[in-house]
Amino acid sequence: MHVRLALLALPLVLAACGSPALDAPGDPYADGVSHAWSDGAGLTSSGAVKPASTRDLRGTVFLGSLTWASASNGWGPIEKDVSNGESAAGDGRRLSIDGRKFAKGLGMHADARVTYRLGGACRTFAAFVGIDDEVGNRGSAVFRVLADGTLKFDSGVLRGADGAKSVNVDVSGAREVTLVTTDAGDGIAYDHANWADARVACTGGSTFVSSPPSGSLDSSFATIQADFAVRDTAVQPDGKLLVLGHSSDLNSLGYVIARYNADGTPDLAFGTNGRTTLSVGSLNYAASIAVQSDGKIVASGRSEFPKPLPDIGAQVVDVVMRLTASGQRDVTFGSNGVVILGRASGSSLDLASQPDGKMLLVQGAPFSVLRLLPDGTRDFAFGPNGRVDLSFDVPSGETVASSEATRVASQSDGRIVLSGVRRLQNTDGSTRSEWLVARLTSNGTLDSSFDADGRLVAFDDSLHAARLTDLVVGANGDVALGGQDHGGSCVGAALHNDGALAFRIGPDVSFVGYGNASLAYQADGRLLVACQPVNVAASQGPLVSRVNVDGTLDTAFGTNGSRTVGDAGGVLVQPGGKIVVGWQTITRLNP
């Protein structure tokens, strides 16, 4: 087990991770040297998007002839029709991939992204992608194409010895296309990435619709005002929204699961008039909700009975419920759609669904994960009694005062990520908190490809009362975790898929949040961070920020990368890229 990163209450908004130092003499990446570059040539002085010109978008148009709306590059500027070269503008040479020469295209360097406004005037985007020959067999990168925030193409990892890979995707009706190049999880060294012959096939036209400002309120969304105590939200593959909570009437608490259409209006075909209410015992407290691959809905909570249950010996128990896709109790799951797990053992009860329909739960103490089969019975092939318990090394001179798992997530390949917090006490009585992260293979063994032994300790002596409130995984296996420090400020970190630190999140005058931190990855790898303030001035209201893959704030979003909202209790990304924010009051932002 390795101590890989420390979460610090930095005096910076976000500290980017530098390039890996190499030992080669004269290595330009040595000691983390960085020449990151960005440009918003297609934005007005207020940050709004300039309308595109239809006369430039007729027939086949090479992107190098257009003005981008925004662009960023990992090493010097993006070059037009030549390779990335070094850190200066115009220092590249003819684009070349595995000996094949190209006269047109974009020379980029991971991590990089560039957005062009198409306004619905183009049909297809095409290119050849690969590592430029100027770095030999070195370098590795992943190339992605997004249309209005929806992923259209993912190259997988391409290396210096690979040939050019053809790209041809449908962008019909798209207002914008974004090209994203990321490192392959091994740092940015020599990741000279070519988008050769990058072009769009367009029809042109007199009507041209520009995109609304990124981060602006979406007026087409019906604001949701929940009349129950919301505890979690989820988004379905069709964009519909699920809201989990419990009744606010303390005399008759019940679990409430409501579904809304993608535009925020109630889905009246779900349950009864758009919601389903369940009671288990006499009092119910909602915790977590997830959507399964077959459309069924699972939720967790904590229920209290008037007296101890005979077979459990406890009044307060953890429960899991499942509904059909239409909002009815799923009678194939447990007893009439409910499984009682046993005595409540901690403050957390997070849930995730795996691609094969199995369910994962963390129940607080100890640091462990439980797996259920699709019918609600324990998966006895997954650790003793269906549970995997994990241990972390304890530093000399300290003892563990408390430890609990708080969040769990499932990757698309079935691997499992869980996180938690432990409190350590020194011999002098002082204490500190550590954030724990582990990744397991689908069968429950520690994943050695994640920080060598599958476990990380994230720590900082100042985090005496640190809480870890969210954990998310990206499409490529990246991991982000967030919470609050001893003062309640939002803090967190993003990790590459091998466990290496990508960047940190910390408080600053332009990025202040208090209370729970909620996170969501966009399809292009950018991270949304929502912070819900507690006991602060109105000028420091609920805040949503967007972070680039290099850890810098995305200044094209909101005002300098952030915007205030009425409620930042949660954040989700719908198919198509629109951003849903809040718990009690849910609004939507333009991507």
| pLDDT tens column, 474-532 | 988 999 998 887 767 788 889 999 999 888 887 543 344 566 789 999 988 889 999 88
Residue 235 burial (CB count, 10 A): 18
Q: Which of 520, 117, 522 is nearest to 530 (CA)?
A: 520
Compute the distance between CA of residue 75 and CA of residue 584 in angstroms, rounded to an integer: 43
Compute the distance between CA of residue 216 and CA of residue 427 in angstroms, rounded to an integer: 52
**Per-residue model confidence as pLDDT tens digits over 193-215:** 999 999 998 876 534 445 678 89
Residue 423 burial (CB count, 10 A): 17
Residues β-bridged to residue 319:
301, 340
Contact between residue 490 and residue 537 where contact means Cβ atoms under 8 Å apart: no
| Distances 580 to 224, 235, 588 between C-alpha atoms, Å | 10, 9, 4
Q: Which of 22, 461, 469, 425 is nearest to 232 (CA)?
A: 469
Polymer length in residues for the chain: 591
- Per residue of the chain (591 residues), give pLDDT as tens: 433 333 333 222 323 333 333 233 456 666 566 688 888 655 444 444 444 444 467 788 889 888 898 899 999 999 999 999 888 888 889 999 998 888 899 999 999 999 999 888 899 999 999 999 999 999 999 999 999 989 999 999 999 999 999 999 999 989 899 999 999 888 899 999 999 999 998 876 534 445 678 899 999 999 999 999 999 999 999 999 999 999 876 555 689 999 999 999 999 999 999 999 998 988 889 999 999 999 999 999 999 888 888 888 888 899 999 999 999 999 999 999 999 988 867 677 899 999 999 999 998 878 899 999 999 999 999 988 899 999 998 888 899 888 889 999 999 999 999 999 888 888 888 888 888 999 999 999 999 999 999 999 876 555 444 788 999 999 889 999 988 877 677 888 899 999 998 888 875 433 445 667 899 999 888 899 998 876 554 346 788 999 888 888 888 889 888 899 999 999 999 998 899 999 999 999 998
CA angle 168, 172, 176 (to 5 degrees): 90
Query: What fold characterizes domain 53-211?
Result: Jelly Rolls (2.60.120)
Would you call the peptide bond into 77 cis, given omega within 30 degrees of 0 as the criterion? no
Q: Cα 142 to the chain's mean position, in Å?
A: 18
Query: What's the pLDDT score for residue 203?
Result: 77
Token code pair at residue 41: 């040539």
Query: What's the pLDDT score for residue 510?
Result: 38
Would you call the peptide bond into 111 cis, given omega within 30 degrees of 0 as the criterion? yes
Compute the distance between CA of residue 471 and CA of residue 474 in angstroms, rounded to an integer: 10
Token code pair at residue 175: 């207002």
Q: Which of 59, 186, 191 is nearest to 131 (CA)?
A: 191
Token code pair at residue 530: 């929502």
**Per-residue model confidence as pLDDT tens digits over 346-365:** 677 899 999 999 999 998 87
Compute the distance between CA of residue 316 and CA of residue 87 in angstroms, rounded to an integer: 61
Q: Domain extents for the chain?
A: 53-211
Q: Which of 123, 106, 257, 119 is nearest to 179 (CA)?
A: 106
Compute the distance between CA of residue 493 and CA of residue 81 in angstroms, rounded to an integer: 36
